[in-house]
Amino acid sequence: MRGRSTRLIVALDTKDTAQAVNWRQATAAHAGAVKLGLEFTYASGLEAVRAVAGDSPLFLDLKLHDIPNTVASAIGSLAGVRPAMLTIHASGGRAMIAAARAAVDATFPAQARPLLLGVTVLTSMDEAGLHEIGVPGSVKAQVIRLGRLAMEAGADGLVCSPHEITPLRQALGEDPVLVVPGIRPAGSAAGDQKRIMTPAQARAAGADWIVVGRPITRAADPAAAAAAIAAELAA
């Protein structure tokens, strides 16, 4: 049994600042962090990101994937945003991940340094989708391959589906912070997600954080939906 608890990150996926603030406030009592990603950042910019996050720890999910110099320079542009977590695609390769590591260390003071998370295989992908882009073998093998690479190159943690938590722990131990989207409370629609589990299942597998968007933000009562998930994590 792992000694860590599993905490909730609410994905505030919207273009609208007022909507994002509403969702943050409605769910703040039940969430350990908020996530702002591509949709909000492209629509509203980094200043709005900072404003929406307020006092909540911020997972800034920009999923950087470019040549090492560009990724490092982009991270350098985030100094004023003060994220608690940042994402890069692990498939960008060792040199890109190492450049991101160096840029995080150079950009943020030690006491305010975001966790650098490597996205392994998107939770919307299944094995057929992986084969289609030229990656043979299983999703699990590819997640472990990318997870190992990211951690060797300096990442602090990984984004993976709940199905890969146990295999990643077996392969890489307790060090990686595992941030886990692809979460669906029993009875909620999967939508575009392929590799899913319930909050309780992800917790039992050993997720450090679960990321939940639409099951909360598209619920009739987002506060109640977040409360129910938090209760499931605490049970």
Ligand X SMILES: O=C(O)c1cc(=O)[nH]c(=O)n1[C@@H]1O[C@H](COP(=O)(O)O)[C@@H](O)[C@H]1O
Closer CB to ligand X, 72 or 180, in the complex: 180
Is residue 208 part of the annotated active site? The answer reads: no
Closer CB to ligand X, 99 or 125, in the complex: 125
C-alpha span between 30 and 223 (Å, rounded):
8
Residue 218, both tokens = 């598209």
Q: Is 212 in the site for ligand X (CB under 6 A)?
A: yes
Is residue 63 part of the annotated active site? The answer reads: yes
| 234 in Cβ contact with 41 (< 8 Å) | no
Phi, psi (deg, nearest 5) at residue 159:
-105, 125
Catalytic residue among 16, 61, 126, 208: 61
| 26 in Cβ contact with 226 (< 8 Å) | yes
Stretch binding ligand X (CB under 6 A), from 64-72, 117-125, 148-156, 227-235: 117-125
Distance of CA 5 to the CA centre of its chain: 16
Q: Which residue is nearest to ligand X (CB)?
A: 213
Return the sign of the alpha-carbon dihedral for residues 67, 102, 84, 145: positive
Stretch binding ligand X (CB under 6 A), from 88-96, 102-110, 136-144, 209-217: 209-217
Q: Does 4 carry a binding-site annotation? A: no
* Shortest Å, Cβ 196 to ligand X: 9
List, as one string, the DSSP characters of 159-223. E--GGGHHHHHHHHTT-SEEEE--B--TT---TT--S-B-HHHHHHHT-SEEEE-HHHHTSSSHH
Stretch binding ligand X (CB under 6 A), from 67-75, 136-144, 150-158, 207-215: 207-215
Among 98, 214, 224, 228, binds ligand X (CB under 6 A): 214
Is residue 61 part of the annotated active site? The answer reads: yes
Q: Does 213 carry a binding-site annotation? A: yes
C-alpha span between 112 and 106 (Å, rounded):
12
Known binding site: residues?
A: 13, 35, 61-70, 123, 184, 193, 213-214
State the residues that interact with ligand X by CB under 6 A.
11, 13, 35, 37, 61, 87, 119, 122-123, 159, 181-182, 191, 193, 211-215
Could you list the active site residues?
Answer: 61, 63, 66
